[in-house]
A and B are shown apart, each in its own frame.
Chain A
Amino acid sequence: MKQYQASIQITLKKGILDVQGKAVENALHAIEFPMLSNLRIGKYVEMIVEADDKEKATASVIDACNKLVANPIIEDFKINLTEIESQ
C-alpha cells in the first residue's frame, strides 16, 4: 500500500452568486483595493489516502468528493495528489 497526500480545492460553480466573496470584494473596494475584482471564496480540504496506486487513490478521493466533501449541484472541485513516505 502506498500513501498519498490529497489536496482538494472546492469552489462554487460559475454563475452561482458567491455572497461571501461579494461582501469581501466590496470591503476591499472600500479600503485601498479598487483594482481587485471577481473575488470568490472556496474551501480547501486535505487528507491522506492509502491505495495501491495513484489511479485508485484519485478514484477514492473523487468518490468522497461527490458523496460528501463537495456538493456537485453547486460546487466544483480540483484534486492534487502526491505520494508521501508511509507514516
Chain B
Amino acid sequence: MKFGIVVFPGSNCDHDAYFATKKNAKQEAVFLWHKDTSIPSDIDCVILPGGFSYGDYLRCGAIARFSPIMNEVISFANKGGYVLGICNGFQTLTEAGLLPGTLLRNKSLNFVCADVNLKVMNNSNIFTSKIKTGDVLRIPIAHGEGNYFADDNTIAELESNNQITFKYCDNEGNFTELSNPNGSMNNIAGIINKERNILGMMPHPERYSDKQLGCNDGIKIFESIADSLK
C-alpha cells in the first residue's frame, strides 16, 4: 500500500510520518505538496501531518484547510479514501468539516509536550484494527490547542456511534482529570467519522514508531493501516 503525506508550509512532522510509514512500517510513502491539484491514483491513505501550517495564523488549520491540495483530500475522503490527521492535521480536518467539533486552547494555556496514555476505545476501523480494544498505548503529544470541544449533542453522538477512537487515561486505563492533558471533553484524544475512513488524533504515533526512541507503540497504528489495506 502507499501513503501520501501532505506538506503544508509550516508542517514539521511530515518527515517523521514519512520515516514511520516507510522505514518502520515498511510501506511505500510519498510527499504531496500543498499546491498540488490532484492526488496520485495509487495513494491508499493520506496523512495530514503535525506542525504549524501557515504559522497557525487565525486558527490552527484554518488556512491550510483552503490550500489547493485540501480540495483533493476532501473529495478523496468523500469517495471513501482513508485520511489520518495527526495534531495540526486533526485541527485541519475539523476546520475542513471532515470531522465534527474543534480544538480549543489547552485548558492550562501551556503548550504541552509530554508522553500520554491513550486507551484504544474501539478497533472496528482500519487505523486500530491490529490493536485490542481497551489496550493502552504510550504516545507523545506536543500542542497548545488540543482541547477537544463539540456541543453536547455531537459528543453524545460520538459516544453512541463509537466514533471516539482514543481517550487520554492514566496508567491503569482510567479516565481521570489528571490524565487529561488539555481539558478535552470526555478525555477525547482522537475521533473517527461515521463512515470510519477519516481519523483525527492529537497525539503523535509517528514520533513513537521506532524502538530506538524508547517506545514504538505508535507503529501499531501504521501497521494496522498497512495490514488492512494490503
- Interface residues of A, Cβ cutoff 8 Å to B: 16-17, 19-20, 23, 68-69, 71, 73-74
CA distance A16 to B185 in the complex (A): 12
- Note all chain B residues with C-beta closer than 8 A to A16: 104, 149
Given contacts A16-B149, A74-B149, contact A68 B105 (CB under 8 A): no
Decide if B105 touches A71 in the complex (CB within 8 Å).
Answer: no
Counting chain B CB atoms within 10 Å of each CB, which of A16, A71, A73 scores highest? A73
Which residues of A are found within 8 Å of B150, using beta-carbon distances? 73
Number of A-B residue pairs with CB-CB distance less than 8 Å in the complex they form: 33
Assess the A17–B107 pair: CB atoms within 8 A.
yes
Chain B facing A: main interface SS: loop
Q: Within 8 Å CB of B107, what residues of A? A: 17, 19
Q: In the assembled complex, how far is the CB of residue A18 from the closest CB belonging to chain B, in whole angstroms?
A: 9
CB distance from A2 to the nearest CB of B (A): 27
Question: B109 near A71 (CB under 8 angstroms)?
Answer: no
Q: Which of A19, A68, A73 contacts B58 (CB 8 A)?
A: A68
The yes or no answer to B53 lying at the interface (CB within 8 A) is no
| A20 partner, pick from B58, B59, B109, B149, beta carbons under 8 A | B109
| Among B59, B101, B109, B151, contact of A19 (Cβ-Cβ < 8 Å) | B109
Q: Which residues of the partner chain A approach B183 to less than 8 Å between Cβ atoms? A: 17, 19
For B150, give the chain A residue with the smallest CB separation.
A73
Q: Which residues of A contact B63 (CB under 8 A)?
A: 68
- Asked if B149 contacts A71 (CB within 8 A), the reply is no
Residues of chain B contacted by A17 (CB below 8 angstroms): 104, 107, 183
CA distance A20 to B62 in the complex (A): 20
| Chain B interface, number of residues (Cβ within 8 angstroms) | 19
**Pick from A20, A23, A69, A71: contact of B95, CB under 8 Å:** A71
CB neighbors of A among B121-171 (8 A): 147, 149-151
A residues in contact with B147, CB < 8 Å: 19
Quick check: A19 and B105 within 8 Å, CB to CB?
yes
Check if A73 sits within 8 Å of B101, measured CB to CB.
yes
In the bound complex, what is the Cα–Cα distance between A73 and B104 (angstroms)?
A: 11
Query: Cα distance A37–B54 when bound, in Å?
Result: 34
Whole-angstrom distance between the Cβ of A72 and the nearest chain B Cβ: 10
In Å, the complex CA distance between A69 and B66 comes to: 12
Contact B101 A71 (CB under 8 A): no
Roughly how many angstroms separate A17 CA and B104 CA in the complex, as a whole number?
9
Take A16-B149, A20-B109 as given contacts and tell me if A74 and B62 are in contact as well, using a CB distance cutoff of 8 Å: no
Pick from A23, A68, A69, A74: contact of B104, CB under 8 Å: A74
- Measured in the bound complex, the distance between the Cα atoms of B151 and A14 in whole Å is 12
As a 0/1 sequence over residues 103 to 120 of chain B, the CB contacts with chain A under 8 angstroms (1 = contact) are 011111100000000000
A16 to B104, CA, bound (A): 9
Can you report 22 residue pairs joining A to B where beta carbons are below 8 Å apart? A16-B104, A17-B104, A17-B107, A17-B183, A19-B105, A19-B106, A19-B107, A19-B109, A19-B147, A19-B183, A68-B66, A71-B59, A71-B62, A71-B95, A71-B102, A73-B101, A73-B102, A73-B149, A73-B151, A74-B102, A74-B104, A74-B149
